[in-house]
Each structure stands twice: as structure tokens, then as C-alpha cells.
Amino acid sequence: MRPLEWDVRFSTGLVTLDADHREFLALQNRLLEARVRGRGHRLLHQVLEQLIAWAEVHQAREEAMFDASGYPAAARHRAEHARLLASARNLRRRHALDLERMTRAVLGLFDYWWKRHILEHDLEFGRYLAAPTPSSPPPVDATVDVTA
């Protein structure tokens, strides 16, 4: 797994969520880079604690936005949040694993979380919010130019 740089393709179109997702990437990259330098084990528990703290705040923020917008896929998305957070907490409890196996497991969770949650479910939510609703005015680009 290589460090990932933020790219416009990763954007949900929502400034707050994108800022949180950048933090997620930074955390993942911190562990990846430390591992490359042979120092991953030292950072492992700290990064896992930070991931759990990040998820508690970020997921609650996203879920409040589902409620405020009446997002129809909220239940499915919330269930996925709960599953991801439970996976991270379970890893914290698995002290019996050796550090190398645990580092691989945490990096695997980061990878899944990024690709299968943030880039799928979170971007889907961003598209939902960006889509015009029947009661909203047409986007500026779609208005007829009466001066033409």
C-alpha cells in the first residue's frame, strides 16, 4: 500500500467532510510512512487511537448531515459507520496479535475504509446533496439567457 495524496476526485463537494477525509488520509499515510522507515510498530497504537477518535467525531458529523437533509440511504450508511468503528475497536482489543500482524490489519482497515466507504458511500452522499430537488431553483448554468 502506497501513501495517497488528496485528489479532487476524492471530494464529496462538502468542505467539512472533505477536511475530515483529508485528516483520515494523513493518519493513514503517517502509519504507512512510519512502517516504510521501520517505525510503524511504535506509532501503531497511537494511530489506532486517533483513528477511533476521528471516526467518533467524523461519523457523528456526517450522520447529523443525513438527518438534516433527509438522506434516503442514511440507515445503510450509518450501519456501515458502526461496522467500521467496531472493527477499529476490535483491533484495539487484540493485544495478542504480534505487532507486524496488527500493523497489517490496521493498514488493511484503513484501505478498506478509504476505498469502500469514503470513496463509495461518502461520495454518494455528496452527489445526493448536490443533486437538484424538485423544489429548488434550476442551477445557474441551466437558466435561459434572455439577452441572446
DSSP symbol at 115? I
Residue 29 sits at φ, ψ, to 5 deg, of -65, -35
Q: Which of 70, 122, 138, 146 binds Fe ion (CB under 5 A)?
A: 122
Task: Considering only the stretches 1-9, 25-33, 117-125, 139-147, report the one whose residues sit in contact with Fe ion under the rule CB under 5 A.
Answer: 117-125
To the nearest whole angstrom, how small is the minimum distance from the Cβ of residue 60 to Fe ion? 11
Closest distance of CB 103 from Fe ion, Å:
23
> In whole angstroms, how large is the CA radius of gyration of the chain?
19
Q: Which three cell numbers stand for residue 101?
A: 500482524
The one segment of 26-34, 98-106, 118-126, 131-139 that binds Fe ion by CB under 5 A = 118-126
Residue (102 or 122) nearer to Fe ion, CB:
122
3-class DSSP assignment, residue 3: coil
Q: What length does the chain have?
A: 148
Q: Return the residues of window 36-75 that contact Fe ion according to CB under 5 A.
A: 62
47 or 84: whose CB is closer to Fe ion?
A: 84
DSSP state of 138: P
Are residues 27 and 50 in contact, defined by beta-carbon separation less than 8 angstroms? yes
Q: Which C-beta is closer to Fe ion: that of 44 or that of 122? A: 122
